[in-house]
Structure 1
Amino acid sequence: MPLSILIVGCSIAGPALAGFLQLAPFADDERPRITVVERSPAVRPQGQNVDIRGVGVPLLEKLGILEAVKASTTGEAGVQWVTADNRVWCEFGSASDSETQRHNPTSDIEILRGRMAQILYRRSLSVTDEHAVEYIFGDYLDDIQQEEGDDKVTVHFAKSGEHRTFDLVVGADGLQSTTRSMIWGRECDSSAVRPLGMYAAFFSMPRDAGQGDNEYRQSFHTHGRRMMSIRPDQQNGRSTALLTVMANEEKDPRFRIASERGATVAAQKDLIQETFEDAGWQSKRLLREMQATDDFYYSMVAQVHMPCWHKGRVVLLGDAAHCASHLSGMGTTLAMLGAYSLAGALSSHPYDVKTALTAYEEAMRPHVTKAQKLMPGVIRIFMPETSWGVWLIDTTIRFLVWTRVFVLLMRFKGADTEPDALPEYGFARPPVYKK
């Protein structure tokens, strides 16, 4: 009998796995039956710019979506650091040599998370035929049961009230995974999620060339460990904003509370409004546009560290298993690689799920370990508390860029940016996805 697989989450890892499972070399009578459940009523449009680096590029080719993704990039050319009066005092990424381009902070491919999720979702419906994957939107799991030694998992859908049984449940539901919490328990789940003390708010807004919006990411940091960035979204003729802050959670737990499930968007916006009111630069514009936007997204910046990503017939994928944080620039690439590795492992061991899940973990661990290594103290260094600290960091950045030492730091920052040779599982070559 073919495996019945339930994927929880339709962001990046979930629909990528649905696509790769259709391409994996299963025998015709072994091809899995795939179901994806997503809490939102549709593919979520929110989310900041995501990077696809190194090994992620050939993975896009294997799904047949490389050209569609390239046609949907934000058009970001590099980074400009700006002063409070909007003067550019340092620029990185405009040099024409390949070494600088390869290791600049703007990745091989920059795309908005929502657009990437849409492409992966639509791709999964067109790899073979639109009925190959059953998508359930607007529902979620509130219970997962599996008996020790059993080869089945029974789940309960909260909205429909339906009980269904699957051979494998894949939790691809992000940093604050409810799948992880239900299977590993709240205490274990709390120890797995390691906050980095930073919180981020993201939203889109009208592009305004008069305010200096261009093809570069413009970054401004100020005292109080706060940073603001404006980035291009040339596909939609808009700009996107990212506001980040480091918080002392012992003195002010509001930022953590605002990131928990159940917090309202209004409360999150009010907290960001209060935090950035005196931040200078374009803070007044950004806060005004933030209050008007309908695609606001707020989250803690954290990593997930777990000794094992599977338990019985439940396995975690992407950020749910090993979030490296957006500081690594590797989250989307790891999600794609994990989906490819899991699909390949399952097709290599179609009658031995336990062995397949072990093989998946063995393939992914080295990549995750590299990506989760951040430069020591990088957050505190680049988000200083005092005005003196801001001046010192500005001077340091200017020196690093001018001497090209920045290129070396980007190369050795810990993330795996090189296109490693992918294991070949014998996946079919898909038709090219048309945007």
Structure 2
Amino acid sequence: MPLNILIVGCSIAGPALASFLQLAPFPHNERPEITVLERATSVRNQGQNVDIRGVGVALLQKLGIEHAVKTSTTGEAGVQWVTSAGKVWAELGSANDGETGRHNPTSDIEILRGRMAQILWRRSQTITDDSAVEYIFGDHLDGIEQDHTANTVTVHFAKSGKKRTFDLVVGADGLQSTTRSMVWGSKHEAECVHPLNMYAAFFSMPRDEAAGDSEYRRCYHTHGRRLMSIRPDQQNNRSTSLLTVINDKDARLGDVATGHGKAVVAAQKELVQEYFADAGWQAPRLMREMVATDDFYYSMVAQVKMASWHRRRVVLLGDAAHCASHLSGMGTTLALLGAYSLASALAKHSKDVDTALSTYEVEMRPHVDKAQKLMPGMLRVLSPETAWGVWLVDTTIRFLVWSRVFLLLFYFKGPDTEPDGLPEDGFTLPPVYKE
């Protein structure tokens, strides 16, 4: 009998897994029945820029979406550091700049998370036929029960009130995974989620060339461990902004990071305004646009570290299992690789789900461990507390960029960025996907 699989979450890892499961070399008549559940009423058009490196590019090719992704990039040409007056005092090109750009902050594939999710969602529906994957939007789980005798999982849908039974439930619902919290418990949550004392707000706004918006990402840091950046969104002729603050004393920053709904978003915006209203540079513009935007997203920055990513017939994928934080630059690549590895293991051990899940963990663990090793002192170095610290960081960055020593840091910042090959695995290669 084919496996009946529920995937919770429709961002990156969820629809990627739905596609890889359709392409994987399952035995005849054993291709899984797939359901994807998403709390939002549609694919979320939120989230900051994500980049895809190394093996991630090979996985785009295996999905047949490399063309669609590369024609949907943000068009970012590199990164510039600016003064409060907007003067550029240091600049690095993108990874498209050959040897000098290979290890720069801007990847050769920079794409908005929401756009990437849209491509993956649509791709999962075109690999075989429209009925291959069932998508349920606007609902979420509020109950998960495992039958250890039958090796099944019965879930309860909060809004519809329905109960359904699956052979496997995959939690691909992000850093603040409700699947993880329901199955592993609140005590485990406190142990496995490791906050980095950083909080981030992201939103888009109209492009304003008069204000200096260009194809470069512009970064401005100021005292109080605050950082503001403005990045291009070539696809929509807009700009995006990421605001971060590091603070281990104000509990409000963490408190407003949980929950859903308009009241929660309003509280988040109000707190961000409090922190950045006097930050200088383009803070007045950013605060004005943040209030007006409807794609605001706020989150704590954290890592997830777990001894095991599965418990009986519930398994975690992507950030829900092993969030490395956006500081690693490897979250999307890890989500794609995890989806590929899980689909491959389930196809190889289609009669033994327990072995498949263990195989998935063994294959993924080395990649995750490496990605979670952040550059020592990264947060404190890049986000100084005092004006004197800001001057010191500015001076240091100027020297590193001028001397090209800066490039060496990216060789040691964590995971490899060199392209990695994938084994001959029997996956079906679909036709190139173009929108």
> Do they fold alike, i.e. is TM over 0.5?
yes
* Aligned equivalent of 2:77: 77
Letter in 1 for 2:98: S
**Which residue number corresponds to residue 165 of structure 1?**
165
CA distance in 2, matches of 1:429, 1:378: 40
Structure 1 unmatched ranges of 5 or more: none
Equivalent position to 2:255, from 257, 276, 279:
257
2:351 match: 351
Contact kept in structure 1, 2:95 and 2:106, CA below 8 Å:
no
Deviations 1:354-373 (A, max 9, x none): 00001100110111011000
1:190: how far off?
Answer: 1.7
Matched with 1:20 is: 20
Structure 1 equivalent of residue 48 of structure 2: 48
The C-alpha deviation readout for 1:276-318, integer Å capped at 9, x for no partner, is: 0110000000000000000000000000000000000000000
Name which of structure 1's ranges 420-429 and 234-243 shifts more when overlaid on structure 2.
420-429
Matches within 5 A, 1:337-416: 337-416=337-416
Q: How far apart, in 2, do the equivalents of 1:100 and 1:257 lie?
A: 42
- In structure 2, the CA distance between the partners of 1:128 and 1:260, relative to structure 1 (3 Å rule), is same
SS at match of 1:108: coil
The 2-side partners of 1:324 and 1:25 are apart by: 30
Specify the code of the residue in structure 1 equivalent to 2:374.
Answer: L
SS at match of 1:134: strand
Q: State the SS of the aligned residue for 2:213.
A: coil
Which position in structure 1 is the counterpart of 2:67?
67
Structure 2 CA distance, aligned partners of 1:309 and 1:96?
36
For this pair of structures, how many residues does the alignment match? 433
Letter in 1 for 2:315: V
Q: TM-score, normalised by structure 1?
A: 0.98
Matched, 1:424 2:421: no
Q: Is the 8 A contact 1:199 1:245 kept in 2?
A: yes
The separation in 2 between residues aligned to 1:356 and 1:431, in whole angstroms, is: 28
SS at structure 1 position matched to 2:21: helix
How big is the shift at 1:377?
1.3
Give the secondary-structure state (helix, strand or coil) at the position aligned to 1:321.
Answer: helix
| Displacement of 1:96 | 7.5
Q: Name the CA distance, whole Å, in 1 between partners of 2:429 and 2:95.
A: 36
Contact 1:149–1:312 (CA<8 Å) still a contact in 2?
A: no
Q: CA contact under 8 A between 2:269 and 2:291: conserved in structure 1?
A: yes
Offset at 1:431?
A: 1.6
- Write out aligned runs for 1:149-228 (5 A): 149-228=149-228
Whole-angstrom CA distance in 2 between matches of 1:378 and 1:9: 30
Percentage of identical aligned residues: 73
TM-score after normalising by structure 2 = 0.98
Name the CA distance, whole Å, in 2 between partners of 1:95 and 1:28: 43
Deviation at 1:425, TM superposition (A): 2.0
Secondary structure of the equivalent of 2:327? coil
After TM superposition, list the pairs within 5 Å mapping 1:305-344 onto structure 2: 305-344=305-344
Check 1:176–1:97 CA distance in 2 against 1; reply closer, same or farther (3 A cut). closer
- Maintained 8 Å contact 1:348/1:425: no
Q: Deviations over 1:397-426 (max 9, x none)?
A: 111111111111011101231222223321
Q: Structure 1 CA distance, aligned partners of 2:433 and 2:270?
A: 41
**Change beyond 3 A, Cα 1:300–1:430:** same
Whether contact under 8 Å (2:3, 2:30) holds in the other structure is: yes
CA separation of 1:314 and 1:215: change in aligned 2, threshold 3 A: same
- State the 1:95 CA deviation: 9.1
Q: Contact 1:19/1:127 (CA < 8 Å) preserved in 2?
A: yes
Indicate if the aligned counterparts of 1:175 and 1:304 stay in contact, CA closer than 8 A: yes
Task: After superposition, give the CA deviation of every residue in 1:248-275 in whole Å (9 maximum; x if it has no partner).
Answer: 2xx3100000101246100000000010
CA distance in 1, matches of 2:22, 2:215: 37
Residue 145 of structure 1 aligns with which residue?
A: 145
Q: Which amino acid aligns with 2:371?
A: A
Paired residue secondary structure (1:259)? coil
CA distance in 2, matches of 1:96, 1:258: 38
Write the distance in 1 (CA, Å) between the matches of 2:104 and 2:377: 20
Q: Residue in 2 aligned with 1:128? A: 128
RMSD: 1.1
Q: Hey, what's the Cα distance between the residues in 2 that align with 1:423 and 1:268?
A: 45
Letter of the 1:325 partner, please give it.
S
CA–CA separation in structure 1 for the residues paired with 2:290 and 2:382: 24
Matched AA of 1:188? H
Distance 2:7 2:281 in 1: 43
Which amino acid in the other structure matches residue 253 of structure 2? F
SS in 2 for 1:115: helix
Instruction: Give the counterpart letter for 1:32 in structure 2.
Output: P
- Between the aligned partners of 1:159 and 1:31, the Cα distance in structure 2 is 29
Q: Shift of residue 150 of structure 1?
A: 3.6
- 2:58 equivalent in structure 1: 58
